[in-house]
Chains A and B, each alone.
Chain A
Amino acid sequence: MLKELTRLEMKKTREGFGHALVDLGEKDERIVVLAADVTDSVNAGFFARRFPERFVQVGIAEQNMATVATGLSLVGKIPFYSTYGAFSTCRCMDQIRISICYSNANVKICGAHGGISVGPDGATHQALEEIAMMRSLPNMKVIVPCDYWQSKRATMAAAYIDGPVFLRFGREAVPTLTDESTPFDFGKGVVLRDGGDVAIIACGVMVYEALVAAEVLGKQGIDCRVINLHTIKPIDRDLIIRAARECGAIVTAEEHQVYGGMGSAVAEVLVSHVPVPQEFVAVMDRFGQSGQPDELLRAFGLKSEDIVAAAKRVLKRKK
């Protein structure tokens, strides 16, 4: 299996988003797309060239983009607005809180360039807080797809989920774990590998790292369950509870700050229902920095070997 994992096709999640917008635009007149200058970086350009009359360029003005999108939703449009994740969320948090979430406006927020793997642009452009921010808002839904196909499927699904949805994509090409026929079931985590010693719950690019870690641990006689928790809000409580009951130990892995992200969301479920030990693989309360994506993942402790180490730690705490 490990050998297979090294031979997967590499594709960008943000391209899955861009291609989904075109497919959506073809079949639904209500789809509109907004961008704030970085149209091609976030792959909204595919849509902009195909449907120029339904593409709204707002310039470098993210606060305005979020609220213009809100207005478009009020006349029946299904707006997707997109820029780098750091700017599509943090920069316009108040607009998202009041105009979008408090009003339950039907706006789809897309954050490209999520995570440390953005690379050489450094800390300003490495969104590491959006999952925490977005999931704290009532009415908001949060999705972090793991690869190209899941990004495409999730984008297609988000168009028809009522109310605000946040979608997080990455910058780099990542291994393609799903294919064109893999369904996307909003709100339902996916068990990619069954096991009973420890469950690794991951999202985004960390799903691949989790599968590699499980393979390594398997060779050492540790039987890992791997869950792709692509929907972080609403969270798949039942799946997490079952994993905790059956495995008795949890590792969460995400390319996000440790405080408030997917791991925190899982911990909230565990402490309320099945308080088993959990270890966090995440960015440990620090800003990012420049570097190559893979060396950054290594430097920030977000590689498969870090998940392996976390699994061993949590197993020592398991009763």
Chain B
Amino acid sequence: MNPFNYSAEQLQAAALDVRRDIITMLVEAKSGHTGGPLSCTDFATALSFRYLNHKPSEPHWADRDFVFYSIGHVTPVNYSLLAECGYFPLKDLMTFRKLNSRLQGHPHRLDTPGIEISSGSLGQGLSIACGVAKGSKIDKHPRRVFCIMGDGELQEGSCWEAVMFAGHYHLDNLGVIVDYNKRQIDGEVPKIMDIAPLADKWHAFNWHVLEIDGHDMQQILAAYDEMLHHQGSPTVIIAHTTMGRGVSFMEGKSEWHGKPPTMEQGEQALRELGTTYDEWSSRLLAG
């Protein structure tokens, strides 16, 4: 059972806060990834605040659901959600990527409460999620396992070993959300190395496939509801998203994959998100 169980309206409000956290912590860190965290924000917020069975005060609670961000570089959204849920103080977000911070540039299991595995090298998260799902099946434990993957990441061959495994073992306790923002560092995914037709590929590996607008909260909730009820095979939600979603000058631009906003850009972004750097950094430092 999710401890928050937010409504669609509450999730939209929470997602706005997460986007403000992302911009603010990146401005402070002066390095990091901006585009992917913003494209993941809506469906990731829904997962943490409505579906994931977790206890932020007890990160290692044995009966918890597991979520893996296989795209380790989206730490800003991952850390923001952990802090907003209460795994650690909001002020820690202002230490992101700094020396001796518990918030490493890419997630480290041994440093951060709520991080289930260290990641950052792409193409490993789904295999780990498969291991948790298979282990839970062996134990007949009802836990759910979620894995957030990137579209560029699917160019890693190891992803498809895991996709094959989950289909073969009918891991219906496992769900994947693909952040299909169609951008990677070098440019547009179809031009760099096309992964289309994506739904057909997952179908071919015996997955239950859903395709949604990854920024439409009603579609997101409907997809999670179906994922949780589907039996007999794992489910993938292909979430069509926009890199940099929520900040006009970042939307759809590959250049925002791996760089942070400057203070000026951050101020502009935060204005679009209805706040200022002073206001939001003060909120984080007080939390």
Contacts and interface: CB of A to CB of B under 8 A. Distances in A.
A103 B109 contact: yes
Interface residues of A, number: 31
Contacts of B136: 75
Contacts of A64: 127, 130, 158, 161-162, 164-165
A77 interface: yes
A183 B116 CA distance: 36
A71 B130 contact: yes
A43 interface: no
B133 A102 contact: no
A103 B119 CA distance: 9
A58 B165 contact: yes
A103 B110 contact: yes
Contacts of A5: none
B279 interface: no
Given A75-B132, A103-B110, A63 B127 contact: yes
B124 A77 contact: no
B132 A72 contact: yes
A98 B121 contact: yes
Contacts of A190: none
Contacts of A56: 134
Nearest to A98: B121
A98 B124 contact: yes
B120 to A, nearest CB: 7
A72 B116 contact: no
Contacts of B263: none
A123 to B, nearest CB: 24
Contact of B158 (A32, A53, A63, A103): A63
B77 interface: no
Nearest to A95: B124
A66 B108 CA distance: 18
Given A61-B164, A74-B116, A67 B121 contact: no
Contacts of B62: 76
A77 B136 CA distance: 10
B80 interface: no
A106 to B, nearest CB: 12
B158 A68 contact: no
Given A63-B127, A64-B127, A104-B110, A71 B132 contact: yes
Residue among B119, B130, B133 with the highest chain A CB neighbour number at 10 A = B130
Interface in A90-115: 94-95, 97-99, 102-105
B135 interface: yes
A71 B129 contact: yes
Contacts of A67: 124, 127-128, 130-131, 158, 162
Interface in B109-158: 109-110, 116-121, 123-124, 127-136, 138-139, 141, 143, 158
A69 interface: yes
Contacts of A95: 124, 127, 158
Nearest to A62: B161
Given A75-B136, A75-B139, A105-B117, A69 B131 contact: yes
B66 interface: yes
Contacts of B135: 32, 71-72, 74-77
Interface string B39-78: 0000000000000000000000010001000000000000
A104 B108 CA distance: 10
A70 interface: yes
Contacts of A66: 127
B173 to A, nearest CB: 11
A104 B110 CA distance: 8
Contact of B138 (A32, A70, A99): A32
Nearest to A107: B131
Contacts of B158: 63-64, 67, 95
B120 A98 contact: yes
Given A69-B131, A71-B134, A104-B110, A61 B165 contact: yes
A54 B138 CA distance: 7
A59 interface: yes
Contacts of A58: 161, 165
B179 to A, nearest CB: 20
A98 B128 CA distance: 12
B134 A99 contact: no
A74 B117 contact: yes
B110 A68 contact: no
Interface string A277-310: 0000000000000000000000000000000000
Contacts of A102: 108-109, 118
A91 to B, nearest CB: 10
Contacts of A98: 118-121, 124
18 contacts: A58-B161, A59-B161, A59-B164, A59-B168, A61-B164, A63-B158, A64-B127, A68-B127, A68-B162, A70-B117, A70-B128, A71-B132, A75-B141, A77-B135, A97-B121, A98-B119, A102-B118, A104-B109
Interface of A: 32, 53-54, 56, 58-59, 61, 63-64, 66-77, 79, 94-95, 97-99, 102-105
Interface of B: 62, 66, 108-110, 116-121, 123-124, 127-136, 138-139, 141, 143, 158, 161-162, 164-165, 168
The 9 closest A-B pairs by CB, nearest first: A71-B131, A67-B127, A64-B161, A61-B161, A75-B135, A68-B131, A71-B128, A102-B118, A71-B132
